[in-house]
Amino acid sequence: MITGMDRDEVLEGQAAELLEEIGLMREELRDGTLTVPGSKGQPTPNRLLGELRAHTWLLVRILGGGAAADAAAPVEDAVDRLRAEWENASE
């Protein structure tokens, strides 16, 4: 079980990873296009836009204390819960 300072370190690590991924997606979108051809050639939003939105949402939850709402819960449970919410929101 991870608690206290270890919990904060894990959340900081998660936030740092998310920031790095957000930066990579922004760079890719900056170098690419916001729309891509769909299955029938129609313009559709680049899927990175949804991923960027989901990553940003998760980062806000982690930094805003969403993951630390239940301080007694192990950090793994909080991160898993947030990741599950994130994955369900992006479907």
Position 2 scores a pLDDT of 58
For 71-82, the pLDDT digits (tens) are: 555 556 666 776
Q: Are 90 and 51 in contact (CB under 8 A)?
A: yes
For 2-53, the pLDDT digits (tens) are: 555 688 888 889 999 999 999 999 999 998 989 999 999 999 999 999 999 9
Q: What is the phi-psi region of residue 23: left when phi exceeds 0, alpha when psi lies from -120 to 50, beta otherwise?
A: alpha
* 62, pLDDT greater than 60: yes
